[in-house]
Structure 1
Amino acid sequence: MSFSNDVRKEICSSVNDKDRRFACLYGMILFCRILTHERICFQSESSTSAELFRSLFHAVFHVELSESEHIRKNGIVLHTYEITGDTVEAVFQKYRFSEIERSIDSEIIATNSLGVFTAGVFLACGSVNDPSKEYHLEFSCPEEGLAKQLLMLLNDIGVNAKTTLRRGQNIVYIKGSESIEDTLTFIGAPQCTMDLMNTKIYKDIRNKANRIANCDAANIDKVVKTAMKQIEDIKLIDRAVGLESLSDELREVAQLRLENIDMSLQEIGENLSTPISRSGVNHRFKKLAKMADEIRIGGVKYEE
């Protein structure tokens, strides 16, 4: 089951009184595929949205609608309700639809639930991605004017929404996770909001763990690479002049490194006969590195 359908189901469970049914159906009809004086056509790939539309229409207009189904090439079922004749006129009168263009009636929204109206819009033309993959919610609006009005409505409630034109469709979309959370709560899907927030927390923790693991791996690689260079220097010094020629303090760190490639500088310092700090160990290895470099440039002759 998709996250979008989870949102639709939660919305449906919240549309439970006369005013909310009226407002939700208003949003569904206003943003449906076809809305003319001759014909109203509501279509949805969601059986949840289609069933709610039939139920709300019967509750508001006392008319039982017949559904037709069309199976697309991709196997998805398209649910369709066609409204014609006198019923169309009744819809136009009750919702005061304009004969010229579709527009949101501020008076209807003011006397009913704005959130439930927007929920109806979502059920008619909205979708939201699985938050574990991407933060994206959008409305595919049937007309440019409606898209602009919906954008203003969402911006007015503090949601950062934008518009774009995709394959001739006017899209109002939301990208930020917080704005999507606000929108889902606003349209009556608080449980889905919590699911999204939990998913975001999980993703943040997982990403942080990955960053730590990557950092740890990088640090391990760095320690090993440094240790290998130190061993190379020590072996060069041993071949050239012998480790016995070193001072006691340099010979001791050299022997510890040869015997413990995976030991950190701090651990080497702690295991010396007279323990010293990490910086003290590092200072001794710098002395050994300087000696090895002098040997490499010919400062000391030795047999391979």
Structure 2
Amino acid sequence: MSFSNDVRQEICSSVNDKDRRFACLYGMLLFCRSLTREHICFQSESRISAELFCSLFSAVFRRELSITEHTRKNGVVLCSCDADGEDAEAVFQKYHLADDARLIDSEIIATNSLGVFTAGVFLACGSVNDPNKEYHLEFACPEEQLAQQLATLLGDIGVTAKTVLRRGQHIVYIKGSESIEDTLTFIGASQCTLELMNTKIYKDIRNKANRIANCDAANIDKVVKAAMKQIEDIKLIDRTVGLETLSDELREVAQLRAENIDMSLQEIGETLSEPISRSGVNHRFKKLAKIADEIRGGGGANAK
């Protein structure tokens, strides 16, 4: 089951009193596929949404509707609920719908019903991506004015929603986990909100662990390359002028490095007969590197 279906399932279970049924059905009707005085058609790929539409229609209008199924070429089953004639006319009278345009009538929805109305809108035309993949919630609205009104309504609850025309549909979309969390909570899907938050926490921890691992790997690689360069310098000095020509301090560091490629500078400093700091060890290796460079340049070596 998809995350969108999880949201629909939770919404459907929360529509459980007269006012909520009336408001939810209003959202489903206003944003359904077809809405005229002669014919109303609610369509959804979700069987549970279609069943709720029929249930709400029966509760509000005392009229029974049936669900018909149509399988698309891609194998997806589309559920349709149709209301014709007197049933459609009853809807227009009950919700004071206009013939020329679909508009949200704020007077029909009490303040405490805005959330469940928006839940009905989601059931009619909404979808939300799996948070494991990306944070994206959208409503495919049937008309431009409805899209603008919905974006304004979401803005009133502090959610930034944008609109775009995609393949002839007016899309209201929301990006960002926090905005989607607020929207899901607003429409009554609080458990799905918690699931999204848990997913975000897991992703953040995983990404942080990956960054740390990558950083550690890069640091290890850097240390190994530095150690190999130091050993290369030490072997060159030993092969040409001999380590015995070095000062006691440089010779001790050189021998420790040659025998311990995996030792850090700090560990080398702590192992010396007279322990020194990491920066002190690094300074001695710079002296060895300078001697090696002089040998490569044919200028001899100063082993002090």
Residue 300 of structure 1, CA deviation? 2.1
TM-score (norm 1): 0.98
Residue 194 of structure 1, CA deviation? 0.4
| Cα distance change, pair 112–279 in 1 and its aligned pair in 2 (3 A) | closer
1:245 aligns with 245
Residue 183 of structure 1, CA deviation? 0.1
Alignment partners' CA distance in 2, 1:300 and 1:249: 20
Name the aligned partner's letter for residue 211 of structure 1. Answer: R
SS of residue in 2 equivalent to 1:16:
coil
- Are the aligned partners of 2:51 and 2:67 in contact in 1 as well (CA < 8 Å)? no
1:232 aligns with 232
SS of residue in 2 equivalent to 1:104:
coil
Q: May I ask how many residue pairs the two structures share in their alignment? A: 301
1:262 aligns with 262
1:279 aligns with 2:257: no
Alignment partners' CA distance in 1, 2:147 and 2:109: 16
Name the aligned partner's letter for residue 24 of structure 1. Answer: C
1:291 aligns with 2:291: yes
2:145 aligns with 145
Alignment partners' CA distance in 2, 1:196 and 1:127: 14
- Are the aligned partners of 1:20 and 1:112 in contact in 2 as well (CA < 8 Å)? no
For residues 163-212 of structure 1, give each alpha carbon's deviation from its aligned partner in whole angstroms, at most 9, with x where no partner exists.
Answer: 00111110000011100000000000001000000000000000000000
2:64 aligns with 64
Residue 243 of structure 1, CA deviation? 0.2
1:87 aligns with 87
SS of residue in 1 equivalent to 2:107:
helix
For residues 236-295 of structure 1, give each alpha carbon's deviation from its aligned partner in whole angstroms, at most 9, with x where no partner exists.
Answer: 111111001111110111011111111110011111111111000000000000101111
For residues 215-251 of structure 1, give each alpha carbon's deviation from its aligned partner in whole angstroms, at most 9, with x where no partner exists.
Answer: 0000000000000000010111111110011111101
2:43 aligns with 43
Residue 110 of structure 1, CA deviation? 2.8
| Cα distance change, pair 111–178 in 1 and its aligned pair in 2 (3 A) | closer
| Cα distance change, pair 244–112 in 1 and its aligned pair in 2 (3 A) | closer
Name the aligned partner's letter for residue 66 of structure 2. Answer: S
Q: Which runs of 4+ in 1 moved over 6 A?
A: none
CA RMSD of superposed structures (Å):
0.9
1:123 aligns with 123
Alignment partners' CA distance in 2, 1:15 and 1:67: 20
Alignment partners' CA distance in 2, 1:28 and 1:112: 17
Alignment partners' CA distance in 2, 1:102 and 1:13: 27
Give unpaired runs (5+ residues) of structure 1: none
SS of residue in 2 equivalent to 1:238:
helix
Give unpaired runs (5+ residues) of structure 2: none
Alignment partners' CA distance in 1, 2:259 and 2:55: 79
1:199 aligns with 2:199: yes
2:8 aligns with 8
TM-score (norm 2): 0.98
